[in-house]
Chains A and B, each alone.
Chain A
Amino acid sequence: MRIIKKLFVLLLLAFVSVLVACGSKGEESLKIGYFGNLPEAGDCLVQRNTIKLFVEKWNKEKTFGDVTVEYYEYDNTNNGAQDTEMSIKAAQKLINQDQVDIIISAQLSNIIQATGQLINDAEVIDIGLGLSATWMQQGWDYVYRTALNNDYQVPGMTAKMKELNQNDVALLYQNTDNCLTFRDTFKAEAAKSGLNIVADEMLPAEGGTGITGQVTKAINSNPDCIFITAMGGSFGTVVKQLRQSGYKGMIYLGQPLTTTEVDSIGSEEVNGVAMFSPYIAYNRVEDCKNEFCKNVLQAYFDKYGTCPQTDMIYKIWDAMLLIENAVKTAKSTDAKEIQAVIKTLKFQGCAGTMDFTRGSNECYFGAQAWVYTGQGVAGGPTLLEDWLKTDLSSKVKMTK
């Protein structure tokens, strides 16, 4: 009986708090929601900073006329890592309580995958920043991507390997949704272009220390080049160990190294590490040669005093540009109307023209090849083509 009384009180409390929580709503405003790893100072911080930068700018310059922009953010971590269940809860809260029009999901593909159905059913725009092909194959109308799908990233990479006569590839992968898809795509492409996979080893999750065995096996398989796909910020150690264990060949990456990692691994070790991406992160704003990207970095630097560590800045910047253009064109904050106009949009983004007119909810279809050169080497990362002409490339064994 006691417990029923307690329950009674709790229920009453719940009712009251819910009624209080849904007080006044309904002004004309554009609501943007975000969920990600809030305590983290990495990619998620860059995302939040950029969103805030844009929201402030929009409200100040009255970009959307009288419509004010509101921003809501929730943490989705459980024990320090982003978690699908917490993300689903955050998405529920954004949709039902805050009634947002647009949601920006953090960069992890499995989280976009987990929340996509929910957001799509609620007819709210979802902009994902992940690279995995999986969540684009679900046919969700409201889910968009402003990053490069790894389906478009891999063919260039395998073609380059073939061109440089690197036929034996050792594969190191981490077991996450994104990396697995990457690995599968890579294997399929490699089979098409006649590359041999000589080693296929799984790396432990972030923070794992058992990598020596895998690294040794990859090197002992005597490859021409090594391909690593792992969550950003967790595989600099693998690159370093490969080099320290005496591997002198080329290393291809699926995801970018952070600039901290590039610096601390050492310029000698990081030479010959290639990355296929439309854009790349720089230590200093002036290193960037692309005018558009340079302006992006400058704007971020002016506001926050640091240069972003990874290329996440370009992805989120493109996402914000998409919102700006879509809302302007639709002249409405209603998600349905915004969704209707997005497929007519074509505008300048960080990696050239962002083309949504193909109707696949994506905008980029090709990547460039970059090589990290480390600190101290002038100009930061260079294009692979330029790098091949310099004497830096002669220090790397192109084939075994």
Chain B
Amino acid sequence: MKKIFKNKKIRNIIIMVVTIALLMVTPVIFTSFRSGNYYLNVINYVFVYAIAATGLNIMTGYSGQINLGGAAYFSVGAYGTVILCNLGIPTIFAVLLAMLIVAFFGFLTAVPAAKLKYHFLALATMAVGEIVNNILIVSPGGITNDTHGMFVKALDLFGLKLSKDSQLYYFLLISMVLCLLFTFAFIKSHTGRACIAARDSVDAAGAFGVDVKKYKIIATVVSCIMIGFAGFLFAYLNRYISPDTFAAGKSTMFMSMTMLGGSGTLFGPLLGTILITIIMEVLRGLPGAGLYLQLSYGLVLLAVMMFMPFGVSGLISNIKTKRIIKKKRMEEMEKNNVGS
């Protein structure tokens, strides 16, 4: 028995199987008691936001462009699908169509954005966010139902109605895993590597024949589509959408999730989302802390920015590197000792 556990491969496989099994039975266990429902709901939100943050990470982390208007694409994805679904289009086509709209919208902003310097891009994306929010509030023909908000019907996938958190859980989990896999494939692909090269050095990438502008646009559009997809999931999870949910605060939240976990890493955004959710839930649960929820959230964020330069992923890899360096040094010292 001990031997089996010592074998790294087998141990890893066991952990993997157990993790997958745990992920699979989570809703069953959580719904078995009433207050578990709440935590299941929280986990579902984590999936949605993790997708949005992963999407944003492609633009900010891998392509080095800041985006303070993430909520704009998020809201286009959400409102787009809901409005199209209300017109009677089957969900799957509505989603595809909405993603096309998001992509087009992303392209519209990406072309000029690829030219802009960092800070101007920050302000330009912020302006896009403000404009889209204004249009949601006063929509032409009232298609977004303005500030009254829209109720969202249960998600209907090929006649399969997903209305409960436990049913949505699997759908959201699969979506998130697919998005992570897609991101992984993207950064390993030729395009992804070109994006990273352009981020690290515009001049060097240019010298190797990388069309910097083109790859920036690609990264932005891909990123927007993923954020839009998260928006669609959000609409069906929240079951109610109104413009105040898609205000500037949401863009900031996506940015902080990405930064907190570590931008430019595959699992950073997921980790950041989980951490922010845990912080918020713990603070919400503490009696009397509700008063200081926003304040403490700001303090935690600030502390991370001050003391953890590369987010949590950075912190973890930092500790690892230090440990390796320490180990190497010890070995060297031992060698020296033996020598003398």
Are A and B bound to each other?
A: yes
| A340 proximal to B (CB < 8 A) | no
| B302 proximal to A (CB < 8 A) | no
Judge whether B242 and A110 touch: CB under 8 Å: yes
Judge whether A84 and B245 touch: CB under 8 Å: yes
Write the nearest CB–CB distance from B106 to chain A, whole angstroms: 23
Stretch at the interface among B97-105, B143-151, B207-215: B143-151
Judge whether A96 and B35 touch: CB under 8 Å: yes
From A4, A39, A74, A99, contact of B294 by CB (8 A) = A39
Judge whether B238 and A21 touch: CB under 8 Å: no
Judge whether A21 and B285 touch: CB under 8 Å: yes
Judge whether B244 and A110 touch: CB under 8 Å: yes
Contact indicator per residue, chain A 1-17, by CB within 8 Å of chain B (1) or not (0): 10111111011101100
List residues of chain B with CB within 8 A of the CB of A22: 33-36
Given A18-B30, A75-B284, A96-B35, verify A4-B147 contact (CB < 8 Å): no
Judge whether B239 and A117 touch: CB under 8 Å: yes
Given A77-B293, A77-B294, A81-B244, verify A113-B37 contact (CB < 8 Å): no
Stretch at the interface among B18-26, B61-69, B185-193, B217-225: B18-26
List residues of chain B with CB within 8 A of the CB of A181: 148
List residues of chain B with CB within 8 A of the CB of A39: 291-295
Task: Report the Cα distance A12→B271, complex, angstroms.
Answer: 15
Judge whether A96 and B34 touch: CB under 8 Å: yes
Judge whether B290 and A117 touch: CB under 8 Å: no
Judge whether A93 and B284 touch: CB under 8 Å: yes
User: Which chain A residues (93-140) contact chain B, with CB distance < 8 Å?
Assistant: 93, 95-97, 99, 110, 113-114, 117-118, 134
**A85 to B, closest residue via Cβ:** B245
| A180 proximal to B (CB < 8 A) | yes
| B315 proximal to A (CB < 8 A) | no
Task: Report the Cα distance A51→B63, complex, angstroms.
Answer: 52
Task: Report the Cα distance A181→B15, complex, angstroms.
Answer: 56
List residues of chain B with CB within 8 A of the CB of A114: 149, 240, 242
Task: Report the Cα distance A95→B29, complex, angstroms.
Answer: 18
Contact indicator per residue, chain A 68-98, by CB within 8 Å of chain B (1) or not (0): 0000011101111101110011101101110
User: Which chain B residues (88-114) contact chain A, with CB distance < 8 Å?
Assistant: none
User: Which chain B residues (20-51) contact chain A, with CB distance < 8 Å?
Assistant: 22-23, 26, 29-30, 33-39, 41-43, 45
Judge whether A38 and B23 touch: CB under 8 Å: no
Task: Report the Cα distance A176→B266, complex, angstroms.
Answer: 39
Judge whether B30 and A4 touch: CB under 8 Å: no
| B249 proximal to A (CB < 8 A) | yes
| B138 proximal to A (CB < 8 A) | yes
Judge whether A3 and B267 touch: CB under 8 Å: yes
List residues of chain B with CB within 8 A of the CB of A110: 147-149, 242, 244
Judge whether B34 and A5 touch: CB under 8 Å: no
Given A22-B33, A39-B292, A79-B249, verify A4-B16 contact (CB < 8 Å): yes
List residues of chain B with CB within 8 A of the CB of A84: 149, 238, 240, 242, 244-245
Write the nearest CB–CB distance from A74 to chain B, whole angstroms: 6
Judge whether B291 and A38 touch: CB under 8 Å: yes
From A8, A21, A96, A117, contact of B15 by CB (8 A) = A8
Question: B interface, by DSSP: helix, strand, loop or mixed?
Answer: helix
Judge whether A175 and B147 touch: CB under 8 Å: yes
Task: Report the Cα distance A19→B30, complex, angstroms.
Answer: 9
List residues of chain A with CB within 8 A of the CB of B162: none
| A56 proximal to B (CB < 8 A) | no
| B247 proximal to A (CB < 8 A) | yes
Judge whether A175 and B284 touch: CB under 8 Å: no
| B318 proximal to A (CB < 8 A) | no
Number of A interface residues at 8 Å Cβ cutoff, please give it.
50
| B137 proximal to A (CB < 8 A) | yes
List residues of chain B with CB within 8 A of the CB of A85: 238, 245
| B83 proximal to A (CB < 8 A) | no
List residues of chain B with CB within 8 A of the CB of A330: none
| B175 proximal to A (CB < 8 A) | no
Task: Report the Cα distance A118→B250, complex, angstroms.
Answer: 23
Judge whether A83 and B15 touch: CB under 8 Å: no
Task: Report the Cα distance A88→B249, complex, angstroms.
Answer: 17
Task: Report the Cα distance A180→B147, complex, angstroms.
Answer: 8
List residues of chain A with CB within 8 A of the CB of B250: 78
Task: Report the Cα distance A21→B37, complex, angstroms.
Answer: 12
**B38 to A, closest residue via Cβ:** A96
Judge whether B147 and A176 touch: CB under 8 Å: yes
Contact indicator per residue, chain A 246-277, by CB within 8 Å of chain B (1) or not (0): 00000000000000000000000000000000
Judge whether B252 and A79 touch: CB under 8 Å: yes
From B35, B242, B291, B293, contact of A97 by CB (8 A) = B35
Task: Report the Cα distance A96→B148, complex, angstroms.
Answer: 26
Task: Report the Cα distance A1→B22, complex, angstroms.
Answer: 16
Task: Report the Cα distance A344→B328, complex, angstroms.
Answer: 81
List residues of chain A with CB within 8 A of the CB of B26: 11
Judge whether B22 and A8 touch: CB under 8 Å: yes
Judge whether A8 and B18 touch: CB under 8 Å: yes
List residues of chain B with CB within 8 A of the CB of A8: 15, 18-19, 22
User: Which chain B residues (227-265) contact chain A, with CB distance < 8 Å?
Assistant: 238-240, 242, 244-245, 247-250, 252
Task: Report the Cα distance A25→B33, complex, angstroms.
Answer: 11
Write the nearest CB–CB distance from B218 to chain A, whole angstroms: 26
Task: Report the Cα distance A114→B295, complex, angstroms.
Answer: 25
Write the nearest CB–CB distance from B91 to chain A, whole angstroms: 20
Judge whether B240 and A180 touch: CB under 8 Å: no
Task: Report the Cα distance A7→B180, complex, angstroms.
Answer: 14
| A398 proximal to B (CB < 8 A) | no
List residues of chain B with CB within 8 A of the CB of A96: 34-38, 41
Task: Report the Cα distance A38→B274, complex, angstroms.
Answer: 24
| B12 proximal to A (CB < 8 A) | yes
Task: Report the Cα distance A80→B248, complex, angstroms.
Answer: 12
Which residues of A pack against B, CB within 8 Å? 1, 3-8, 10-12, 14-15, 18, 21-22, 25, 38-39, 73-75, 77-81, 83-85, 88-90, 92-93, 95-97, 99, 110, 113-114, 117-118, 134, 175-177, 180-181, 202
Which residues of B pack against A, CB within 8 Å? 12, 15-16, 18-19, 22-23, 26, 29-30, 33-39, 41-43, 45, 137-138, 146-149, 151, 238-240, 242, 244-245, 247-250, 252, 266-267, 271, 274, 284-285, 290-295
Given contacts A3-B266, A175-B138, 8 further A-B contacts (CB under 8 A): A1-B16, A3-B267, A7-B19, A8-B15, A15-B29, A75-B284, A79-B248, A90-B284
Nearest 9 pairs between A and B by C-beta? Answer: A79-B249, A96-B38, A75-B290, A97-B35, A22-B35, A96-B37, A75-B293, A114-B240, A38-B290
A-B contacts, 21 of them at CB < 8 A, read A4-B16, A6-B271, A14-B39, A22-B36, A25-B35, A38-B290, A39-B295, A74-B284, A75-B293, A79-B252, A93-B284, A95-B38, A96-B37, A96-B41, A97-B34, A97-B38, A99-B35, A110-B147, A110-B242, A117-B239, A202-B138
